[in-house]
Structure 1
Amino acid sequence: MAREAIGCEAMRTGLARSRREFLRAGGLGLLGLNLPTLLDARARTRASALPVGPESFGKAKAVILLFMWGGPAQQETWDLKPEAPEQVRGEFRPIETNVPGLMISEHFPNLAKRADKLAVIRSVHHKDVNHTTATHELLTGHPIPRAGGGLFSEDWPHYGAVLEQIDHFGRRSPLPPYVQFMPVSTDGAPRFVEQSHGQGAGWLGPALNPFSIDHDPSLPTYDVGDFRLPAEVGPTRRDVREGLLQVVERQARHLEQSPQVDAMASHYERAHALLTDPKAMKAFDLSGEDPRLRERYGMHAHGQAVLQARRLVEAGVPLTTVFWQNDGITNVSVYWDTHNRNFIDLKDRLMPPADQAFSALLDDLEARGLLDETLVVWTGEFGRTPKVGQSVVGGAGAGRDGRDHWAHCFSTVLAGAGIRGGTVYGASDRWAAYPARDPVTPADIAATIYHCLGVDPDLELVDTLGRPLRLCNGTPIGGVLG
């Protein structure tokens, strides 16, 4: 898709939003990280009442969500169709994995050697072919509340916001409760991912929005600057400023009772605790990692962001989302949105770093004894059209060497805590166009994530109108649960 086409699509999503809800006072960064729990509800452990996998209930202590923004082609990654006509099967061929009968793309050679750790779901489907609204389904388990997008404050809350809202982990750490990576391209390539719905706290309020990291972790200059005190600000000046800010906060609350004002004190409190905690700050210092391990993840933005996610798991951050970055190499195929150059970009630009980082993460988590308690999710917001060069209503068209948007069937992969590795669940038809067996919705994936975390999908959250809303309308996918 041309940048202009995606730009028009992004503009239709309505008002742009400040993703981090950062406030500034005297040079100190105030992080939009946390709010004292608004509800008294907690996740209810009802493993015995769940229909599937009670032994997997609550095994996950953390989640790493690897989001391949743009829509990876299922036919070129996890669900190849070598017997289909050439216009359907494309150029890539399947290869054997270390699980008999499980075949994946030839351009995922490292993951093929680790397929025994993966559950490949080949029958995910929904109806939204718009990038910035389809993300909402995969990040929350719910369709976008308002057709076309609406305001971000109307969104359903992201998994991370829900976990923080119900205080599921009982955390009292200065580290953010959930973090997302959106590395900026050095050549200024547009970041349409910023316009994606579902990445924030939605109607739970801005204080529960994620901490977003824009820096490219692969660069020598990588530094999460918003965590740093200015060099000229010593403890005494910081304490003075903290006292002054408290006065301002009290006056602001008196003048205006709003979610943004209510969030301010909490933002500052978390920022102050984080900035003064060396152990918390160390989690963001990649320089201490073995250079050989960094090379295994890949010295590119995605690989180093995935490595950073592993460090955050070790440090106790419950949920980290790593969005694929727009590397800006081509202006006809950005992110995984391969309307043109589908096979060239998948083979040369997209699949090798994704294969490298995901496989390194699995090895690293296992070596550290963390894989059994860390759920890893690899997904995009949808897939690609069954035929090369096929354009669909609502998509942005496809060149003769590309595939358009397709939400009727695509693949999502799970690994780690509570997941049965070496599994294929569901099946697509002969063209990878529609589910042929065991269809799965994003709500089912959400229910599976919550199940692995030990959160009852029947839990109710209260929205801004005081209405109790069920956390998830899906069902945990028993076939992928250990």
Structure 2
Amino acid sequence: MPTARFFNPAVRRREFLRAGGLSLFGLGLPDYLRAADKPSPRRGRAKSCIVLFMWGGPAQQDTWDPKPDAPDVYRGEFGTIPTAVPGLRVCEHLPELAKRADKLCLIRSMTHPDVNHLTATHHLLTGRAAPAGPIADDWPNYGAVLAKLGRGAGALPPYVSMMPVVPDGAPRFVEESHGQGAGLLGPVYNPMRIDADASSPDYKVGELTLSAGLDADRVGGRRGLLDSLDRQVQRMAAAELDAAEANRRRAFELIASPAARAAFDLTREPMAVRERYGMNRHGQSVLQARRLIEAGVPLVTVFWPNDGITNVSVYWDTHSRNFIDLKTRLCPVTDRAFSALLDDLSARGMLDETLVVWTGEMGRTPKVGQSVPGGAGAGRDGRDHWGRVFTTVLAGGGVKGGAVYGASDKYAAEPANLPTTPADLAATVYHSLGVDPRTEIHDRLGRPLTLCDGEVIRGILS
């Protein structure tokens, strides 16, 4: 690789050291992304995907699949409102999304048997049940597969995860949940993970704001810096050596690229736009995702943030305070951010080429106060874990708007028709992105595996 490309005189030695993997984004050098293979041929309509992942499992009957005629103990406290689609009603606390329901496809018959947050997350983000064993043996996330197939271009990574950290907040699922990374494809395809709070006034990603100028001393120090990085490489496992040089180059190019840095600069957005998304962690993370997709990143996952609340249910895991929390801190925030995203993608002519997936890893029990084996229990005003039926929402990317696929029974307890598995969802996501769900991949030992065994949900595709 020509030295002139690797060293950019606009980048100070300190930033170059960071680009080598010593501190960039908290990832080790072999963990940073590259896409080494040639890009795969595309067949789907979508060029990119934003996954809005609602940690904890939203209550289906209190959001997208209300049961107004069920007894109170099933129905819950909320009323329903009409939407832009005649005959379709949703929870009263999703008014902006109700107005945009003509852009949404509600899959009301999602189902799987898992009530464990950590392994159910793997199922939704990969289309495969979580294997027994460490996260390194996981099936790969959608984004890791796109990275492996060579999607994306330029300095920006092909796969980004937004996971804001809250100091002294409640415990996060982030560190233990399966299905977030590359798993058996190897750490080189793991996401660039952003822990920074996008709503913070001093939001920065890896300190990408650089100082101009490089004096003779700094130029003379390059050799020592390279020696230091080379020593890191020598300590790596043999399987990671090829990745190390490519990752070092990719990380440095990200630091050195003004266009890449601009994609992370939310101050470039008018304040009115930022406020439409909501000046909170989730809203600004969704806006950041839109900017990254617009800049060419193929897949961004926005994980619902830890809101720092302790001693009550966190995320969408409403074992208690189900109706209070949905009404005050969950539905309004997602309603605002998701609707703003739909508006922006539509206004920019990007919605048809961007698949948006809104989902949690499961739903909640049909009965208020109901506890289930393997769950974590429920208070008098809460709902426990429930995977047997829940709702996933899709938009854009060649998916029909104003559609409802499948249905739950009268208590939102089981699929009434068209049961849809996470494998079917994964097959549909891959198909929309131009990836054959039956693509053969190989684990770290070179063994051939089929990417996904689900069936494409063709009834929702336009």
TM-score (norm 1): 0.87
1:210-243 per-residue CA deviation (whole Å, 9 max, x = no partner) reads 01111111111111135355x6994766666654
Aligned counterparts, 1:159-170, within 5 A:
159-167=142-150, 169=151
Q: Is the 8 A contact 1:30 1:267 kept in 2?
A: no
Residue matched to 1:53: none
Q: Give the direction of change, closer, same or farther, for the CA distance of 1:277–1:433 in structure 2 (3 Å limit).
A: same
Q: Give the direction of change, closer, same or farther, for the CA distance of 1:205–1:363 in structure 2 (3 Å limit).
A: same
Residue matched to 2:89: 103
Q: Give the direction of change, closer, same or farther, for the CA distance of 1:272–1:78 in structure 2 (3 Å limit).
A: same
Q: For residues 306 and 396 of structure 1, what CA distance do their matches in structure 2 show?
A: 30
Which of 177, 184, 198 is the aligned partner of 2:165?
184
Are 1:80 and 2:66 counterparts? yes
Residue matched to 2:22: 24
Give the residue type in structure 2 aligned to 1:225.
Answer: G
Number of residues paired by the alignment?
443
Residue matched to 1:156: 139
Counting aligned pairs with the same residue, the percent is 60
Q: For residues 224 and 113 of structure 2, what CA distance do their matches in structure 1 show?
A: 51
Q: Which deviates the most, 176-185 or 346-355?
A: 176-185
Q: Is the 8 A contact 2:25 2:194 kept in 1?
A: no
Give the residue type in structure 1 aligned to 2:203.
Answer: Y
Are 1:351 and 2:331 counterparts? yes
Q: Secondary structure at the match of 1:194?
A: coil
Q: For residues 296 and 195 of structure 2, what CA distance do their matches in structure 1 show?
A: 21
Q: Is the 8 A contact 2:169 2:306 kept in 1?
A: no
Are 1:125 and 2:111 counterparts? yes
Residue matched to 1:67: 53
Residue matched to 2:204: 223
Q: CA deviation at 1:324?
A: 0.3
Q: For residues 233 and 268 of structure 1, what CA distance do their matches in structure 2 show?
A: 22
Residue matched to 1:112: 98
Residue matched to 2:429: 449
Q: Which deviates the most, 21-30 or 71-80?
A: 21-30
Q: Which deviates the most, 186-195 or 381-390?
A: 186-195
Aligned counterparts, 1:357-436, within 5 A:
357-436=337-416
Are 1:203 and 2:184 counterparts? yes
Q: Is the 8 A contact 1:136 1:197 kept in 2?
A: yes
CA RMSD of aligned residues (A): 2.4
Give the residue type in structure 2 aligned to 1:272.
Answer: F
Q: Is the 8 A contact 1:205 1:259 kept in 2?
A: no
Residue matched to 1:463: 443
Which of 272, 279, 297 is the aligned partner of 1:292?
272
Q: Is the 8 A contact 2:35 2:158 kept in 1?
A: no
Q: CA deviation at 1:30?
A: 6.5
Q: Give the direction of change, closer, same or farther, for the CA distance of 1:173–1:402 in structure 2 (3 Å limit).
A: same
Which of 242, 247, 253 is the aligned partner of 1:267?
247
Q: CA deviation at 1:196?
A: 1.1
Q: For residues 207 and 123 of structure 2, what CA distance do their matches in structure 1 show?
A: 30
Q: For residues 254 and 215 of structure 1, what CA distance do their matches in structure 2 show?
A: 31
Q: For residues 27 and 361 of structure 1, what CA distance do their matches in structure 2 show?
A: 26
Q: For residues 273 and 161 of structure 2, what CA distance do their matches in structure 1 show?
A: 22
Q: For residues 125 and 60 of structure 1, what CA distance do their matches in structure 2 show?
A: 25
Q: Give the direction of change, closer, same or farther, for the CA distance of 1:252–1:294 in structure 2 (3 Å limit).
A: closer
Residue matched to 1:34: 33
Q: For residues 178 and 115 of structure 1, what CA distance do their matches in structure 2 show?
A: 28
1:351-372 per-residue CA deviation (whole Å, 9 max, x = no partner) reads 0000000000000110111111
Q: CA deviation at 1:291?
A: 0.6
Q: For residues 24 and 195 of structure 2, what CA distance do their matches in structure 1 show?
A: 22
Residue matched to 1:13: none
Q: For residues 267 and 405 of structure 1, what CA distance do their matches in structure 2 show?
A: 40
Give the residue type in structure 1 aligned to 2:162.
Answer: F
Q: CA deviation at 1:36?
A: 5.0
Q: CA deviation at 1:256?
A: 5.4
Residue matched to 1:18: none
TM-score (norm 2): 0.90
Residue matched to 1:172: 153
Q: Give the direction of change, closer, same or farther, for the CA distance of 1:395–1:236 in structure 2 (3 Å limit).
A: farther
Unmatched 5+ residue regions in structure 2? 1-18
1:116-150 per-residue CA deviation (whole Å, 9 max, x = no partner) reads 0000000001111111111001111110011xxx3
Q: For residues 22 and 85 of structure 1, what CA distance do their matches in structure 2 show?
A: 60
Q: For residues 313 and 175 of structure 1, what CA distance do their matches in structure 2 show?
A: 10
Q: For residues 371 and 217 of structure 2, what CA distance do their matches in structure 1 show?
A: 60
Q: Give the direction of change, closer, same or farther, for the CA distance of 1:241–1:66 in structure 2 (3 Å limit).
A: farther
Residue matched to 1:7: none
Q: Give the direction of change, closer, same or farther, for the CA distance of 1:27–1:80 in structure 2 (3 Å limit).
A: closer
Q: CA deviation at 1:465?
A: 2.5
Q: Give the direction of change, closer, same or farther, for the CA distance of 1:36–1:347 in structure 2 (3 Å limit).
A: closer
Residue matched to 1:6: none
Q: For residues 261 and 244 of structure 1, what CA distance do their matches in structure 2 show?
A: 20
Q: Is the 8 A contact 1:386 1:432 kept in 2?
A: yes
Give the residue type in structure 2 aligned to 1:121.
Answer: I
Q: CA deviation at 1:411?
A: 0.3
Q: Secondary structure at the match of 1:473?
A: coil
Q: CA deviation at 1:341?
A: 0.3
Q: CA deviation at 1:189?
A: 3.0
Q: Give the direction of change, closer, same or farther, for the CA distance of 1:468–1:329 in structure 2 (3 Å limit).
A: same
Unmatched 5+ residue regions in structure 1? 1-20, 46-56
Q: Secondary structure at the match of 1:192?
A: coil
